[in-house]
Structure 1
């Protein structure tokens, strides 16, 4: 598969087969992730594979809680919230054979001093985010689907996911990714903005 094919066919997958992801493919995902650029060469990332039944159940429940909170804050009616719950709990939306938490260690940094606190944090998040993109594109090549779960960073939820991972407060969850074999074929959605709207030359 060409890189362009992976980029333009990648899409968010929300429904998965119950089929497990092979250990070799998990390894390939992480090996692709850690080829991403990393600020100051620190590689202060950690990839937590939530694979046991107990861990997956806890993470799934936290995703469901976050999704409901998200749409409540968005102002969705209770009727639509109930439909969302049906999709999550009845149709198993976001229930994946694998969840990957991408964390970065806030205590590992290159520049010392309070004046660089924010900059070092941003650099570390950017490094982990680039690793996530590598991982998601590699997943396309391997016939896997993924979805980035932003709700995992809601207050309270991020802390609980970190607890499930057995990590201390120095670790920050940059992203939680669902991964597995798609239940059905998903087509990428067209972007709302075209080239001219998102680019400026100076």
Structure 2
């Protein structure tokens, strides 16, 4: 598969088949992820794979809680929130055979001194985000679907994900990535804005 094709065919997949993802594929995803650029060469990312039924069910519950809190934060009606619950608990939205949680270790840094705390944090998150993109593009090549989950960062929920991952409070959760075989045909959506709307030459 050409990189161009992987980029154009990557899309957010929210429904997955009840089919296991081979461990070697998961390893290939992480191997692609760690080839991403990393600020100051620190490689201060950590990838935790939730594959056991118990861990996946616990994480799924936390994702559902995060989605409900997100919907409430944007003032959606109780009726729409109930529809979300139906899509999650009856239709299995975001229920995947594998979840990859991506963390950064905030203790691992290059610039010392509190005046660089925010900059070091931003660089680390950017590094992890680029790793996630690599992972998602590799997934396309392997016939897998992915979606980025950020609602697990709500206060309290992130703590539980971190505890489930067996990590301490020095680790910051950048995102959770459900991984699996798409249940439906993949149809990448068009971008709302044209290239001319987002591109400037100086």
Is this a same-fold pair by TM over 0.5? yes
Once residues 12 and 186 of structure 1 are traced to their aligned partners in structure 2, the CA distance between those partners, rounded to angstroms, is 9
Matched, 1:115 2:101: no
Instruction: Give TM-score, length-normalised by structure 2.
Output: 0.98
Once residues 11 and 188 of structure 1 are traced to their aligned partners in structure 2, the CA distance between those partners, rounded to angstroms, is 5
Matched, 1:147 2:147: yes
Instruction: Give the number of aligned pairs.
Output: 202
**Alpha-carbon displacement from aligned partner over 1:18-76 (angstroms, at most 9, x marks no partner):** 10100110110000000000111110110000111111011000000111111111111
Note the residue ranges of structure 1 that are not aligned, 5 or more in a row.
Answer: none
Cross-structure match for 1:190: 190
Cross-structure match for 1:32: 32
Q: CA RMSD in A?
A: 0.7
C-alpha deviation, 1:186, in angstroms:
2.2
Cross-structure match for 1:2: 2
C-alpha deviation, 1:148, in angstroms:
0.2
Runs of 4+ in 1 over 3 A off after TM superposition: none
Matched, 1:168 2:168: yes
C-alpha deviation, 1:127, in angstroms:
0.5
Cross-structure match for 2:71: 71
**Alpha-carbon displacement from aligned partner over 1:133-185 (angstroms, at most 9, x marks no partner):** 00000000000000000101111111110010010001000111000001111
Note the residue ranges of structure 2 that are not aligned, 5 or more in a row.
Answer: none
Say whether the 8 Å CA contact 2:139–2:146 is kept in structure 1.
yes
Say whether the 8 Å CA contact 2:36–2:131 is kept in structure 1.
yes
Say whether the 8 Å CA contact 2:70–2:151 is kept in structure 1.
yes
Cross-structure match for 1:91: 91
C-alpha deviation, 1:78, in angstroms:
1.2
Cross-structure match for 1:181: 181
Say whether the 8 Å CA contact 2:150–2:174 is kept in structure 1.
no
Q: Secondary structure at the match of 1:29?
A: helix
Q: Secondary structure at the match of 2:147?
A: strand
Q: Secondary structure at the match of 1:168?
A: coil
**Alpha-carbon displacement from aligned partner over 1:85-144 (angstroms, at most 9, x marks no partner):** 100000011000000000010000011011111111111111111000000000000000
